[in-house]
Amino acid sequence: MDASQALPQVESFLQQHADRFVDELKDLLRIPSVSADSRHRDDVRQAANYVKERLEAAGLTAELVETAGHPIVYGEWTGAPGAPTALVYGHYDVQPPDPLDRWETPPFEPTVRDGRIYARGATDDKGQMYTHIKSVEAWLQTVGQLPVNVKFVIEGEEEVGSDNLDRFLEEQKERCRCDIVVVSDTSQYAPGIPAITYGLRGIMACEVTLHGPSQDLHSGVFGGAVANPANAMSRLIASLHDDEGRVTIPGFYDDVVPLTPEERQGFADLPFDEQEFLDGVGMTAPFGEPGYSTLERRWARPTCDVNGMISGYTGEGPKTIVPHYATAKITCRLVPDQDAQQLTENLRRHLEEQCPPGLRMEFQDYHGCPAIVSDPTSAAMDAARRAIATAFGNDPVMIREGGSIPVVSTFRDKLGVDTLLLGWGQNTDNLHSPNEHFRLEDFHRGTRASARLWAELVSST
Amino acid sequence: MDASQALPQVESFLQQHADRFVDELKDLLRIPSVSADSRHRDDVRQAANYVKERLEAAGLTAELVETAGHPIVYGEWTGAPGAPTALVYGHYDVQPPDPLDRWETPPFEPTVRDGRIYARGATDDKGQMYTHIKSVEAWLQTVGQLPVNVKFVIEGEEEVGSDNLDRFLEEQKERCRCDIVVVSDTSQYAPGIPAITYGLRGIMACEVTLHGPSQDLHSGVFGGAVANPANAMSRLIASLHDDEGRVTIPGFYDDVVPLTPEERQGFADLPFDEQEFLDGVGMTAPFGEPGYSTLERRWARPTCDVNGMISGYTGEGPKTIVPHYATAKITCRLVPDQDAQQLTENLRRHLEEQCPPGLRMEFQDYHGCPAIVSDPTSAAMDAARRAIATAFGNDPVMIREGGSIPVVSTFRDKLGVDTLLLGWGQNTDNLHSPNEHFRLEDFHRGTRASARLWAELVSST
């Protein structure tokens, strides 16, 4: 196949069908596939079926693979024997949409405003993932073949820890064999500055509950004579940082690989307007670990954040009780070479040791994965760089990101391959927040970059 | 009137009509008069009307007095010129019923089990307050008159700070003139050990909110670079106690009147089984300010309790966000001579000073009242002691209580009179908790004690 003849056909197809692609994405976004909420179990499956159908319509074979949780959609086209094989990973599940009252339009009624499509999952990850299905369709419906073999693994549990993906990759190792993994679940660096992400933070997540009295108690009759779970929880959480903002979980920084001077310089050279960053999130001042820049804090330093907490009466007005329990959800972002499992155990013990008399602590370990940093100069990275430069009209910058994509380390461990993290959206697209959106221009450029990537990858391995 | 002739008639009436009294109480308990929740505004008014009708049926004149909030029910019978006047204070509003799923039977469907009536408000304060209406009815429907004049002030905002009661007492000072106030909103000391409460703790209450980013943020993309309101709130709350459990609000203990050795001895002499106390609330260990017994901690030492807090995602499973706000409801129980207003201001400033950069603190002062301690040897106390001894078959013990009844200091300030705190229920009746209840035997004995009190009070002033 001559890519120089094939590509114009492919790109013409992408242009002609651009509106249909958006309509299809809307159909997918309408499905409230919230994996964390068991009430949405059927919706999650419906989203899986939709993805499977779209893969088949594009010209791949596809199926739903059952797991102990939500199904995995597997698809493939392997008509290029001898050529490299790329595996596209993505996820069709989404974060919970609450707080609902802060959405301008409902989270599962996709709406286009100012060239952006608004919906939960618009960018994370339905919209970004969908670009690869459409780019493959463009090749197969025009040229009739792809320059490389492609496989798709689209899961439905990314937002709840990808619990069943490991077993799938283990059991279907042969089927998933590939030379490179392609994931679009990160972001561009900024509008007009596309990026390839060569590093991700890891994560550990848990939920801690302090059980106190058998029920809420009158704070007048009992207050002062029994341990208050809400006060105690606050003390536990407060004990996770020192006064300067450093994390105080025992051993937390022991295995942290320091940033190299070159990396720090690279970060410093990136255009970054701190005031604009703060304005964008509605904050008046920066905050964080002393001695590090905001980009370093976000990309390459570990954290410990409460994601949610609840105790006692939270309705309107006062209620004079000692709550019978308090719960907090806690996540730490990790960097190389922190060990999620060991640090989770250290955290559990640290909290347990401080639990006051009379309270019982319950600790639920949700999931964890290590951080990952890849070689930014590999042949596959070069291929991606060329594809992106053409589609976006700008060379991508090499960055790290603060989020975690546990599957990247899984692919390295189970399949022995690297992952290309190619983000088409912006990190201001409100992923995980109300009013999540995705610029349609980015959606279309991402699709074009994906289509180019298949040609560029031929010579990359 | 000869009380020795009148009392047998009165007591016979009470016995004959005991079942009807319970049925009427059930009608009142069915009305969800939750004053803290604006959705129950109409229900609160309905409860007020019910109380007014019952006062009229008992033979008093009664009316609803409008306020800026919920109405006050005022009733009176003043046919004993020259005799003392007692003013019964009570409240027809109730605490919110949540958590609803912990009630064995619904909070507003009163149910009798094992000789107890279960419902929100069963003891606090509908059930206890109602005894006085029935005792007055017994006198007026049999003897045709009362030994003393009686007035009733039954309000609908006790559970939300009695905001409009002060103005009512100010404006209707003449009408409310009396020699003694009678309140049944406390408890017996224990089953079989009735009590007169001569001291109450005061209270200050507030709600604190830390506003952070303009919306929930992805904890991977932003975590570590912006102040987290939930972590910050935990630090603020943790800063309210030292490691030993003493409150660290500036000036908190400055004005505390220490317990006298005699009082400490009096408390120590009361039968008290700490293990039984702990078992009763489902706790495995005591907790509190060092150097004080559990009774002292509950009755005569100040506290600082979180009553509720919420931030971020509190649904099922993990959600990796930095919450955009965190809220905590905080109350302090106060003892003589702590100043609620001054300490609320000290608390506000203490929290404000520690609010980290980038977060904005909002502070709502709910309400406060000072603690109160009365002379346990007054003539009115003696009258109450005799009435209770007869009705309950046991001399009452003189105790203090940990709860707050702000109106007691209001009556002292505005009307210059003392208050008899005569509790008919038990402090294990789950007031402010799920499965609140009231022993019917206590309801009936309370009614009888109230009927006797009117006769005993004649010679008390």
Report the range of poorest mean pLDDT among A428-432, B90-94, B146-150, B304-308: A428-432
Q: Which residues of B touch A228 (CB under 8 A)?
A: 305-306
* Domain count within chain A: 2
Q: What is the pLDDT, as a whole number, of residue A432?
A: 84
Residues B154 and B30 in one domain: yes
Please indicate, yes or no, if residue A276 is contained in any of the structural domains.
no
Same-domain status, B87 and B148: yes
Contact of B233 with chain A, judged by CB distance below 8 Å, is answered with: yes
Where in the sequence is the domain holding A158, given as residue range(s)? 3-200+371-459
In Å, how far is B73's CA from the nearest CA of chain A?
Answer: 23
In a domain, A92, yes or no: yes
Is A284 part of a structural domain of the chain? no
Size (chain A), residues? 461
Q: What is the mean pLDDT of residues A166-183?
A: 95
H or E stretch at B384:
helix B379-392
Which among B368, B394, B426 is the end of a domain?
B368
Asked whether residue B178 falls in the same domain as residue B116, the answer is: yes
pLDDT at B461 over 60: no
Radius of gyration of chain B (CA): 23
Percent of chain B having pLDDT more than 70? 99
| Residues above pLDDT 70, as percent of chain A | 99
- For residues B97-109, average pLDDT: 95
Contact yes or no for B335/B182 (Cβ under 8 A): no
| Domain final position from A325, A349, A366 | A366
Residue A350 shares a structural domain with residue A406: no
**At residue B406, does pLDDT exceed 90?**
no
The residues, any chain, with a CB within 8 Å of residue B321's CB and separated by 6 or more, are A307, A308, A432, A433, B216, B217, B218, B219, B312, B313
CA A172 from centroid of its chain's CA atoms:
23
| B364, part of any domain | yes
- Mean pLDDT for chain A overall: 95
Mean pLDDT value across residues A128-135:
98
Strands A85-91 and A149-155: parallel
In angstroms, the separation between the Cα of residue A321 and the nearest Cα of chain B is: 5
Residue position matching structure tokens 């955290």? A347
Residues 174-203, chain A, touching B (beta carbon < 8 A)? 187, 201, 203
B330 and B397 in a single domain? The answer is: no
Give the CATH number, domain containing residue B80. 3.40.630.10
Q: What pLDDT is stored for residue A117 in this prediction?
A: 98
Tell how strand B397-401 and strand B195-200 pair up. Answer: parallel
ipTM over cut 0.85: no
Q: What is the CATH number of the domain that holds B332?
A: 3.30.70.360
Whether residue A453 sits in one domain with residue A324: no
Please name every residue paired with A438 in a beta bridge, in sequence order, or none if there are none: A117
pLDDT tens digits for B109-121? Answer: 999 999 999 999 9
User: Helices B126-142 and B3-16 meet at what angle, rounded to 10?
Assistant: 120
* Cβ contact, residue pair B96, A319, below 8 Å: yes
A215 inside domain: yes
Query: What confidence tier does B427 reach under pLDDT thresholds 50, 70, 90?
Result: confident
CB B236 within 8 A of CB B309: no
Of A2, A16, A10, A18, nearest in space to A142 by CA: A10
**Average pLDDT in the A303-322 region?**
95
- What pLDDT is stored for residue A172 in this prediction? 94
Secondary element (H or E) of residue B116: strand B116-118
A190-234 tens-digit pLDDT: 888 999 999 999 999 999 999 999 999 999 989 999 999 999 999
The mean per-residue pLDDT over the stretch A157-178 comes to: 92
Which chain B residues contact residue A96 at CB under 8 A? Answer: 313, 315, 319
Residue B179, helix vs strand vs coil: coil
- Cβ-based burial of A160 (10 A; exposed 0-12, middle 13-18, buried ≥19): buried
Considering the domain architecture, whether residues A166 and A82 belong to the same structural domain is answered as yes
**Taking a contact as any Cβ pair under 8 Å apart, which residues of chain A between 291 and 330 contact chain B?**
294, 297-298, 301-324, 326-329
Domain final residue pick, A326, A344, A366: A366
Span B158-204, pLDDT tens digits: 998 888 999 999 999 999 999 999 999 989 998 899 999 999 999 99
Residues B120 and B25 grouped into a single domain: yes
Buried b (16+ CB within 10 A) or exposed e, B445-459: bbbbbbbbbbbbbbe
Domain membership flag for residue A273: no
On whether both B327 and B382 belong to a single domain, the answer is no
pLDDT exceeding 90 applies to what percent of chain A? Answer: 87
Q: What is the mean pLDDT of residues B425-437?
A: 91
Tell me if A320 and B331 make a contact (CB, 8 A cut-off): yes
Residues of chain A in contact with residue B430, where contact means CB-CB under 8 angstroms, are 215
Does residue B96 sit at the A interface (CB-CB below 8 Å)? Answer: yes
Pair (A356, A413) in one structural domain: no
Task: Please give the mean pLDDT across all residues of chain B.
Answer: 95
Asked whether B326 and A325 are in contact (CB, 8 A), the reply is no
Whether A309 sits inside 8 A of B309 (CB atoms) is: yes
Q: Is the pLDDT of residue A404 over 90?
A: no
